[in-house]
Amino acid sequence: MNGNLKLALQKKGRLTEKSLELLSLCGLDIENYSERLVVSVRNFPLDILFLRDDDIPEYVQDGVADIGIVGENVVYEKQTGTKVLEKLGFGRCSLMFAYPEKNELKKIEDINGKTIATTYPRILNEYLKKNNIKAKVIELSGSVEIAPSLGVADLICDIVSTGNTLMMNKLKKSFKVFESEAVLISAEEKLKDPKLNEILNDLLGRIRSVKTAHSSKYLMMNVPKDSLETILEIIPSLKSPTVLSLAEENMLAVHAVIPSDKFWQIVNDLKSAGASGILLLPIDNLIQ
């Protein structure tokens, strides 16, 4: 016990790189981790444990790690009782039904009496029960997409992101069972050890600031003084915009933090209202 907070991450897989990137954006200086089980962070009281993603909820629940980063699909399938502290915005995917192209699946009731192959039997069974559907569930440990062509199942229930795997296996996607993204989990909402809880809150604050910064941009522009009111009405600002005077007397500079996805919706309105020299800049961190 060195007093550090212990974070479990996927050792090698789809979530590894994005998780490390998030920590690095949080200002954490992580030593070269290749092939090591535990790595310390140089400038933050955190030890990172590299594990298989399927084991992370259990290790967190048992206290081997205090917190973990894992897909919601794994959290809900394992049902270890861990709590989701924060959604992290990467590793997005859906658990979906898919069936051979030559067949039809128009309504969810058409699944009645069918055989479904999946690696997520718990989430699937819960969904079937909720929708009052009786079907046979076959649990496989991988390569679910080949089950229909092998004659093992009528349809599958699997994770889909781009849909390429389904296409290559001549399967059509159908109803969505569950949507997932990477999440930060812990055994309890608040850690028992107050020191560890303080470190966790520091980390959570940084993660939230990185998330807000990534979904925001810094907007700068020059506006004629008499259009200021119209311009301020157009800007979907997170906080009150900054208005600065310029050397040119009848012009002002307006600066605001806006949600990134709103920019292209408002840019024409800004121009029509007389804004010029419009600049949109990325933000590294945004502490609110």
Q: List residues near Zn ion by CB under 5 A.
A: 53-54
User: Residue 77's binding partner, choosing from ligand PRT, Zn ion, none, with beta-carbon cut-off 5 to 8 A by kind?
Assistant: none
Cβ proximity to ligand PRT: between 58 and 202 the closer is 58
Q: Looking at beta carbons, which residue is closest to ligand PRT?
A: 71
Instruction: State the minimum distance, in angstroms, from the CB of residue 148 to ligand PRT.
Output: 14
Instruction: State the minimum distance, in angstroms, from the CB of residue 160 to ligand PRT.
Output: 4
Which residues contact ligand PRT by CB under 6 A? 10, 13-15, 52-54, 71, 73-74, 91, 93, 158-165, 180
**Rounded Cα–Cα distance for residues 119 and 178 (Å):** 13
Q: Where are the beta strands (DSSP E) in the chain?
A: 5-10, 38-40, 46-51, 67-71, 83-87, 93-100, 115-118, 136-139, 155-160, 171-180, 182-186, 216-224, 242-245, 251-259, 276-282
Cβ proximity to ligand PRT: between 47 and 54 the closer is 54
User: Residue 155's binding partner, choosing from ligand PRT, Zn ion, none, with beta-carbon cut-off 5 to 8 A by kind?
Assistant: none
Instruction: State the minimum distance, in angstroms, from the CB of residue 168 to ligand PRT.
Output: 8
User: Residue 14's binding partner, choosing from ligand PRT, Zn ion, none, with beta-carbon cut-off 5 to 8 A by kind?
Assistant: ligand PRT
φ/ψ of 248, rounded to 5, equals -70, 125
List, in order, residues 6 or more apart from 234 with CB less than 8 Å away.
266, 269, 270, 273
User: Residue 15's binding partner, choosing from Zn ion, ligand PRT, none, with beta-carbon cut-off 5 to 8 A by kind?
Assistant: ligand PRT
Instruction: State the minimum distance, in angstroms, from the CB of residue 59 to ligand PRT.
Output: 12
Q: In what order do the strands lie in the sheet with 171-180?
A: 136-139, 115-118, 155-160, 93-100, 171-180
The rounded Cα 66 to chain-centroid distance in angstroms is 20
Instruction: State the minimum distance, in angstroms, from the CB of residue 93 to Zn ion.
Output: 13
